[in-house]
Amino acid sequence: MVKNGISDLLNQAIETATRELGHLNIIIAGRTGVGKSTLINAIFQANLAETGQGRPVTQDTREINKEGIPLTIFDTRGLEMSAFAETSDQLRAFVRERCADRDSNRHIHVAWICIQEDGRRVEDAEIALHSLLAEQVPVLAVITKARADGGFRQEVQRLLPQARNVLRVRAIGEELDDGHTLSPFGLEELVFATSEIIPEGKRRALAAAQKASLQYKKTQARKVVAGASAAAVAAAATPIPFSDAALLVPVQIGMLAGITTVFGFDVSKSALSTLISSALGVTGAMLAGRSLAAGLLKLFPGAGSIAGATIAASTASAVTAALGEAYITVLAQIYQENPSRKLDMKYVAEKLKEKMRRKSSPEP
């Protein structure tokens, strides 16, 4: 039986989903005009670079964040200043202090050094900054406003050897004088390259904060489903007869909350309640007949008990996975239509119910 009331389960699911989402911190450095703000707004939700100048944390570094987005950008300036040595000392001390914090949500997890392709050169300050940051955090070199490589990427790799990768990006489309249009590119690749070098526990935060790659959101959401499916096996394999259905409820509630946060949508108690009242009704119907048979087998000791647990475990895992995949499909469709919209949970619940009913219906 579920020991906690549904209200407690909802609160626990939201708390767990928020904690497991974590918080990602990125340093973005580059000269004035390199396109940092454009890149930030193209990659991340809520046009972060348009929320103001941010809070100063050193003489030439400002903190940019927005409530509801598990991301902080530290915009490092001053690469053109004659007093770069002084500002770099401040930055080194700041990064060292953050990375030594006991709370991993305060660490600096990755640095992007932005270099404009049109300039065709890497400045001494950029080389020095890449070495400074690489002492503490993984560094990516990002070539912005990319139009024609001409060997420049290879040159950046040579001059910034401690960079984990060098990526060419064009954050927004551009119309050339001859009438040709250059489409944005490289943004999704930057998201995946960032994911490869940040801690595993911060990848959900990246998925939620970014808007450049729907595929990345789905990839991280499927990890939530995989974890829930494994937990469903453990819950269903309990030797207590008829207990598996009740034990599955918190697992599936937690999974739905986790997927919602990975997609970057707010998850509230009322919204989650609306969703699960619909979703669990369908999954309950899918489990009913097979769980009953498994529960009856568990009443008998020995082989009967083991067989019952096996049937219930495989069924619970399959149904949990089906629920998770259906929910990912629904959220992906909604997100693709309008990434910034707020979820209408009644609409989402109906769509999810339709998906699950199709899965549970026998093939014609």
174 and 235 belong to one structural domain:
no
Q: What is the mean pLDDT of residues 100-112?
A: 97
Most confident by average pLDDT, 255-259, 264-268, 306-310, 352-356: 255-259
169 and 229 belong to one structural domain:
no
Q: Phi and psi dihedrals of 242, rounded to 5? A: 65, 10
* 254, 2 contact by CB (below 8 A): no
326 and 350 belong to one structural domain:
yes
pLDDT band at 40 (very low <50, low <70, confident <90, very high): very high
* Predicted local distance difference test score (pLDDT) of residue 280: 63
Of 317 and 59, the structure prediction assigns the larger pLDDT to: 317
pTM of the model: 0.87
pLDDT band at 262 (very low <50, low <70, confident <90, very high): very high
* Predicted local distance difference test score (pLDDT) of residue 88: 85
Residue whose structure tokens are 């149904």: 319
Give the percent of the chain with pLDDT over 70: 82
Paired tokens of 7: 């209200």
Q: Does residue 5 register a pLDDT over 80?
A: no
281 domain-assigned: yes
In whole angstroms, give the CA distance from residue 168 to residue 37: 16
217 and 199 belong to one structural domain:
no
234 and 353 belong to one structural domain:
yes
183 and 225 belong to one structural domain:
no
In sequence order, which residues have a C-beta less than 8 Å from that of residue 240 and are 6 or more positions away?
298
Residue 128: in which H helix or E strand, if any? helix 124-134
* Predicted local distance difference test score (pLDDT) of residue 296: 40
In whole angstroms, give the CA distance from residue 344 to residue 331: 11
- Domain residues for the domain of 284 are 213-360
Give the percent of the chain with pLDDT over 90: 50
85 and 142 belong to one structural domain:
yes
> Of 209, 241, 259, which residue is a domain's last?
209
Number of domains in the chain: 2
**291: nearest Cα among 274, 315, 264:** 315
* Predicted local distance difference test score (pLDDT) of residue 288: 47
Of 356 and 93, the structure prediction assigns the larger pLDDT to: 93
Phi-psi region of 176 (alpha: psi -120 to 50; beta: other; left: phi over 0): beta
Please state which of the ranges 120-124, 129-133, 220-224 shows the lowest mean pLDDT: 120-124
pLDDT band at 136 (very low <50, low <70, confident <90, very high): very high
* Predicted local distance difference test score (pLDDT) of residue 246: 61
Instruction: Give the model confidence (pLDDT) of 291-327 as tens digits.
Output: 444 444 444 455 455 444 444 677 778 888 988 999 9
Q: Exposed (0-12), middle (13-18) or buried (19+): which is 148, by Cβ within 10 Å?
A: exposed
